[in-house]
Structure 1
Amino acid sequence: MDRSRSRPHTTVILAMSADGKIADARRSPARFSSQRDRFHLEQQIAAADATLFGAGTLRAYGTTLSVTSAKLLHQRLQNHQKSQPIQILASASAKIDPQWRFFRQPVPRWLIASAAGAKSWQGRSEFEKVIVGEQGVLSREQGAEGQTEKNNCQPRIDWTFALEQLFSLGIKRLAVLGGGELVAAMLAVDLIDEMWLTVCPLLLGGTNAPSPVAGMGFPENLAPRLELLSAQVEAQEVFLHYRLHRSQ
């Protein structure tokens, strides 16, 4: 079966330092990209039906990026889309602080979690939908979305199954905003279609500083291959657009 026909088209959008870090070793919120890159991110979000991000990414920032540009809002209206894409939080354990500013933003919120993680959000108003990302477990209304876990004994999300559910709920284009654990988990099961990487002019270093793709890594012979679609230099930043190469 062609999975691209039963799941959303997925695009990762991330800014990174020249040495390939998406945050410093303290995992502070990444504020090093330019205004041009932030508008580029907003453009990608505005083109999507939904965004997907892990709990670690939300914990760092406290909020998500909504569409504010009048031009982009009008574009969504012309495309018969709601003013804001659905913001999907991924957390297998669903151990999330309801006091985060994210829950006061005027955006639609969904959660993807494991069956165990979803239980604590049943009957609550923070999420419009709670999606259980496990085979054989029914999805529940008012829920959220999950992220990869390092310990196999912890709750996990079946990403192929989760994305099939999103597709059935009308999500055709999905913007993936990190972090690296989430991107790695989706790459491991061949669920990423495109990547936008903005290379910013600074060096962060640090063994523990996160990169666009975290997790256990890939042996060279099994590493996902990329096809460069475009490379554009604007001021001091380089905007790289890749497509995941798939052998036919």
Structure 2
Amino acid sequence: MKRPHTLVVLAMTADGKIADKHSSAARFGSDADKNHLETQIAQVDAVLFGAGTLRAYHTSFPISNPELLQWRKQQHKPPQPVHIVCSASGNLNPEMRFFRQSLPRWLLTTHRGENTWQQTNSEGFERILKADDLDNRINWLKAFEQFTTLGLEKLAILGGGGLVASLLEAALIDEFYLTLCPLLLGGTDAPTPVEGLGFSQQQAQELELLSVKQIEGEIFLHYRLHH
């Protein structure tokens, strides 16, 4: 299947948590990590994130670096990539600041989710994509086919762990950019980069390490997934 090239970009603690036990917005990354995230976002046509991530932050992460904005202009790209929220239920609060940010917004949902959103607010998204399976969940293969049809060639996945797990299960992830931050959160309920039901050792997703970089206390890891 022809589909967008995908990269997961996440910061995590030294014990592998991407948020605390309350699933609060993770703000433990340094300025170097934020610059790293912004650089990766500048390379893509769209970013994809789950409804839980949006509810935690209430915003998305637009490009603000003038050099990156200029680079996108030189590449004949719009200033901001498309920001795609995936929510099978369509249950989103239209009062979130995300809906006032100056960036293109799409919703990936189901037919039922579209009806739920439109009962709340008929505006807010420039485009609504529907990709259902028989259980009223998002069918990721159908969704990625639509992304390709709409000209999205490179896609950044910004969390959360449930979304990453679903895309791994569907073999739709190509690269991981993980920032290892020098703190510990612990907790069995604190989310990790890959949630879901997990994989057996025989089904483990193998990674090839492409690069390692240290900036002060943080370690920046770049992996390629073996399909």
Q: Normalised by the shorter chain, which TM-score bucket?
A: over 0.9
**Aligned residues between the structures:** 225
Counterpart position of 1:144? none
Specify the code of the residue in structure 2 equivalent to 1:53. F
More deviation in 123-132 or 159-168?
A: 123-132
8 Å contact 2:49–2:157 — kept in the other structure?
Answer: yes
1:129-155 alpha-carbon deviations (Å, 9 max, x no partner):
0000126xxxxxxxxxxxxxxxx96x3
SS at match of 1:103: helix
- Note the 1:66-85 alignment, pairs <5 A: 66-85=62-81
- Note the 1:169-188 alignment, pairs <5 A: 169-188=150-169
Counterpart position of 2:13? 17
- For 1:160 and 1:197, the matched residues in 2 are separated by 25
8 Å contact 2:92–2:117 — kept in the other structure?
Answer: no
SS at match of 2:44: coil
Query: What are the ranges of 5 or more consecutive residues in structure 2 without an aligned counterpart?
Result: none
User: Which of residues 113, 127, 130 in structure 2 aligns to 1:129?
Assistant: 127
1:70-113 alpha-carbon deviations (Å, 9 max, x no partner):
00000100111000110000001110000000000010000000
- For 1:121 and 1:180, the matched residues in 2 are separated by 24
- For 1:44 and 1:109, the matched residues in 2 are separated by 18
Counterpart position of 1:58? 54
Whether 1:210 and 2:165 are equivalent positions in the alignment is: no
SS at match of 1:120: helix
Counterpart position of 2:140? 159
- For 2:123 and 2:110, the matched residues in 1 are separated by 19
- For 2:127 and 2:86, the matched residues in 1 are separated by 12
Whether 1:108 and 2:104 are equivalent positions in the alignment is: yes
Counterpart position of 1:196? 177
Counterpart position of 1:222? 203
Specify the code of the residue in structure 1 equivalent to 2:149. S
- For 1:61 and 1:8, the matched residues in 2 are separated by 26
Percentage of identical aligned residues: 53
**Cα offset for 1:120?**
3.0
User: Which of residues 22, 43, 46 in structure 1 aligns to 2:42?
Assistant: 46
**Cα offset for 1:121?**
3.5
TM-score (norm 2): 0.96
1:179-237 alpha-carbon deviations (Å, 9 max, x no partner):
00000000001000000000000000000000000000001101111010001111100
- For 2:116 and 2:152, the matched residues in 1 are separated by 25
More deviation in 17-26 or 125-134?
A: 125-134
- For 1:175 and 1:68, the matched residues in 2 are separated by 17
Counterpart position of 2:224? 243
**Cα offset for 1:67?**
0.4
Instruction: Give the number of the structure with larger relative contact order, counting CA–CA contacts within 8 Å between residues 6 or more apart.
Output: 2
RMSD: 1.3
Query: What are the ranges of 5 or more consecutive residues in structure 1 without an aligned counterpart?
Result: 136-151
